[in-house]
Structure 1
Amino acid sequence: MMNIIKKWNNISLVKRIIAGLAAGIILGLAVPQAEMIGILGDLFVGALKALAPLLVFFLVMHSLCRHQKGNSSNMKQIIILYFAGMLLAAFTAVVASFLFPSELALAESAEASAPGGIVEILENLLLSAVSNPIGAIVDANYVGVLVWAVIFGLALRGAGEVTKDVLGNITDGLSVAIRWVINCAPFGILGLVFTTLSTTGIKAFASYGKIILVLVGCMLFVAFVVNPILVFLNIRQNPYPLVLTCIKDSGIMAFFTRSSAANIPVNMALCKKLGLDEEKYSVSIPLGSTINMAGAAITITTLTMAATNTMGITVTFPMALLLSVVATISACGTSGVAGGSLLLIPLACSLFGISNDIAMQVVGVGFIIGVIQDSCETALNSSSDALFTAAAEFRNWRKQGKKIQW
């Protein structure tokens, strides 16, 4: 038995994931009634979500308490890349919506509670930041987890070496546990794909084909054109090897988990593989899973523009640019869970006087196409967290004359 496990682990994780994907498709089409198979996906995502808040909390706290004064930090550059990527993603969606206008069949209703405005979004973020630290870990409130980890990390900078070593040992133990869970990804993806095909099927997407093509096309354009340009401006060399590495190691996993929060451990492992500074990526990766939401900006912009086309509302280019800015700010308030961006659509729709009832029907359409839309959105969001973190650090390496390689 141990020999079989050893041989299985020696196979590339990507190859094992492809095998799990193929098995999930076959089983989903052949035996859709075998609901027990879907539990594999729930167990996998549940395990990642359970360990990720603890990992982020201890990793950030340990990194900051170990940080030496005077060490350089590239957080400013990373945040600039995050917001530049989101704004350009929203603008890409605006241009695509003008070139390929789409309409929606607004016949279904959706019951949900959408935020009333940008002020409410910012208020929720601030309240999340000061929530009970234990509750933040339990509820996977990553804003609160990150804020309290920073506070405790700075407070413990004067602690003894024994205390810091204990925090380091806990962090190492959590990292090992995360690696064990990620090693089970092929079985988890098998369950996730099976559930998708057995419950939703392929025919459900046919009537929304055009809007799906616009959404996915924008996300692919950002992933393979916009983001590489931003990376090139920082590292001044061919960005595609790094882009493809991030998509392969992070984007594929995020596509199936559909959760930026659950993909935090995957991005941490990728940053370590790229040789990045743990003190920096242990902060930027969880921060990115909270505010870096280029895919969400595309979703909000595209579906809002589709709603205006459906309602016969003429959108001027200046108004569309304003929509890009609103979508960028709103996307920062998107939760790192599946479907988190959809409830921000009513806010964007309000710019054009679209009633909340109509806007919530647009949200309903978003949930119908969410299996494709949200998977691609999360893949873009999460892979760009690692991509921009690496680009910012490689930029510093270039300035210092160090060789950039991955």
Structure 2
Amino acid sequence: MRIALQKWNQISLVKRIFLGIVFGVILALTVPGASGITILGSLFVSALKAVAPILVLLLVMAAISNHKQGSQTNIKRILVLYGVSTFLAGVIAVGASFIFPIQLSLVTGAQDVTPPEGIVDVLKSLLFQVVDNPVNALINANFIGILAWSILLGLALRNANDHMKSLLTQASDAISQIVKWVIQFAPLGIMGLIFDSITSSGLSSLLDYGSLILVLVGCMLFTALAVNPLIVYLNIRKNPYPLVLQSLKESGITAFFTRSSAANIPVNMRLCEKLGLDKDTYAVSIPLGATINMAGAAITISTLTMAAVHTLGIQVDFGTALILSILSAVSAMGASGVAGGSLLLIPLACSLFGISNDIAMQVVGVGFIIGVVQDSFETALNSSSDALFTATAEFANKRKEGKLA
């Protein structure tokens, strides 16, 4: 058994995850009644979610308190990359909806949820998260609040003695080690998630919405494989695909199956460490990206809103389409501040065209039906690009200084 475990650990994590996917599919098709397998997936996601808040708190505090005056962190460039990618994703979704107009068979099923009444509500929710009680922020995994407190505490500890700073660094290293242990169980966790997805949802319920799923997934794949590489190339001036594919492989696959940006924070941290990036930068940019880097959410909001527009026969001019793209991007960045994420921001976008809330909530119901596919691709795009753009910003700075090979 010991030899077998050693050989298993010698296989790369990505290959082990692929094997977990294969075994999950096989078990779902052969022994669908073995419901105990789903516990593995739930345990894995819960473990990642449990460790992520304290990891972010300690890493950011340690990074800022130990930060040397004048050191480059690239945060401004990363924020610009996050914003540009999210806006372009909204533009692509609106453009694709004009080329491939979709009409929906509207359904009910979203009456028990309440969407925000306007963009002011979304921004107000985000502001209240910033000033959340730190204990409450940790308990509820409010990463905006955790970031705010960790930055403030880190700044306050800049003048602390070396012993205190060393203690913070050691504590963050200890949590990072726990993260590495948890990630080693990714193959078993993803096997459980795959088993649960196939046995509980299946694919039959999605067939009626095939064209909508194709447009959504097509836009997300185009953003991940064409738009993001172009953004990366314009910054580092070399072939972007090795970095893009590594981000998708080592971050996107895990995010696809966990469907949680928060759960994928430890995975992205590990990837950034593997890429040799500056800890002071990614300790802040990764949890920040998990809350505001939302290209996938912008695509979901734009595509489903345009589907409602085409269903009702509303004519859309260029100016309104552009406003929708901007609104989708801004709303997507605030998606983490709304229970239900990107789907509950659809009524906000629909209001731009005078679509009633009753019809908009039926569109949200359609979103819930295709949620298994939509949310998986959306999270994979969002989360993998957190690490991608963090690396891009650092490599661009190295290129500028003549240090990039």
Check 1:339–1:131 CA distance in 2 against 1; reply closer, same or farther (3 A cut). Answer: closer
Residues 374 and 339 from structure 1, CA distance in 2 versus in 1: closer, same or farther, beyond 3 angstroms?
farther
Q: Report Cα offsets for 1:346-368 as digits up to 9, x if no partner.
A: 10011111111111111111111
Q: What is aligned with 1:157?
A: 158
Question: Which residues in structure 2 correspond to 1:6-405 (within 5 Å)?
Answer: 6-110=6-110, 111-335=112-336, 340-404=341-405
Is the 8 Å Cα contact of residues 107 and 363 (structure 2) preserved in structure 1? no
Runs of 4+ in 1 over 6 A off after TM superposition: none
When normalised by structure 2's length, the TM-score is 0.98
Gaps in structure 2 of 5+ consecutive residues:
none
Q: Is contact 1:264–1:285 with CA below 8 Å preserved after alignment?
A: yes
Measured against aligned partners, the alpha-carbon deviations of 1:270-294 in whole angstroms (never above 9, x if no partner) come to 1111111000111011100010000
Change in CA separation of 1:336 and 1:44 when aligned onto 2, cut-off 3 Å: farther
Q: Tell me, in whole angstroms, the C-alpha distance in 1 between the residues paired with 2:30 and 2:339.
A: 27
2 CA distance for matches of 1:58 and 1:193? 32
Q: In the alignment, residue 352 of structure 2 is paired with which amino acid?
A: L
Task: Specify the SS of the correspondent of 2:158.
Answer: helix
Q: Return the offset for 1:339.
A: 5.4
Relative to 1, partners in 2 of residues 1:174 and 1:5: Cα closer, same or farther, differing over 3 Å?
same
1:4 positional shift: 2.2
Distance (whole Å) between structure 1 residues aligned to residue 357 and residue 181 of structure 2: 45
Pair 1:289–1:337, CA change in 2 (3 A): farther
- What are the Cα deviations for residues 17-52 of structure 1, in whole angstroms up to 9, with x where unaligned? 111111111222222222211111100000000000
Task: State the AA in 2 paired with 1:96.
Answer: A
1:151 Cα shift? 0.1
- Partner-residue secondary structure (3-state), 2:341: coil
Post-superposition Cα deviations, 1:177-216, rounded to whole Å, max 9, x if no partner, equal: 1111111001111111111111111111110000000000
- Segments of 5+ residues of structure 1 without an aligned counterpart are none
Question: Which amino acid in the other structure matches residue 386 of structure 2?
Answer: D
**Aligned partners of 1:136 and 1:401: how far apart in 2?**
41
Q: Which amino acid aligns with 2:115?
A: A
Distance 1:336 1:179, change over 3 A: farther
| Distance in 2 (alpha carbons) for counterparts of 1:255 and 1:295 | 12
CA contact (8 A) 2:302 2:328 kept: yes
| Distance (Å, rounded) in 2 between the aligned partners of 1:166 and 1:72 | 24
Conserved? CA contact 1:301–1:323, under 8 Å: yes
Q: Kindly indicate whether the alpha-carbon contact (under 8 Å) linking 2:125 and 2:337 is maintained by their aligned counterparts in 1.
A: no
Farther off after superposition, 42-51 or 357-366: 357-366
Change (3 A) 1:337 1:120: closer
Query: Within 2, Cα distance between the matches of 1:183 and 1:337?
Result: 32
Q: Is the 8 A contact 1:261 1:336 kept in 2?
A: no
Following the alignment from structure 1 to structure 2, what is the Cα–Cα distance between the partners of residues 74 and 376? 28
Instruction: Give the TM-score of the pair, scaled to structure 1.
Output: 0.98
**RMSD, matched Cα:** 1.2
Partner Cα distance (2:339, 2:375) in 1:
7
How many residues align structurally? 404
Once the two structures are superposed, what CA deviation does each residue of 1:278-334 show, in whole Å capped at 9, x if it has no partner? Answer: 001110111000100000000000000001111121111211111000000000111
State the AA in 2 paired with 1:196. Answer: S
Distance 1:196 1:220 in 2: 21
What amino acid sits opposite 2:216 in the alignment?
L
Residues 223 and 380 in structure 1, CA contact (< 8 A), matched pair in contact too? yes
Contact 1:345–1:359 under 8 Å retained in 2: yes
What amino acid sits opposite 1:94 in the alignment? V
Aligned mates of 1:332, 1:270 — CA distance in 2: 23
SS state at 2:157 partner: helix
Provide closer, same or farther for how the CA distance between residues 43 and 336 of structure 1 changes in structure 2, counting only shifts above 3 A: farther
Instruction: Report the Cα distance in structure 2 between the residues aligned to 1:38 and 1:170, rounded to whole angstroms.
Output: 33
Contact 2:107 2:365 in 1 (8 A): no
**Identical amino acids, percent of aligned pairs:** 61
| Residues 235-266 of structure 1, C-alpha deviations (whole Å, 9 max, x = no match) | 01111111011111111110011011110111
Measure, in 1, the Cα distance between the counterparts of 2:252 and 2:12: 16
SS in structure 1 of the partner of residue 72 of structure 2: coil
CA contact (8 A) 2:116 2:338 kept: no
Deviation of residue 338 (structure 1)? 10
Mapped contact 1:85–1:294 kept (Cα < 8 A): yes
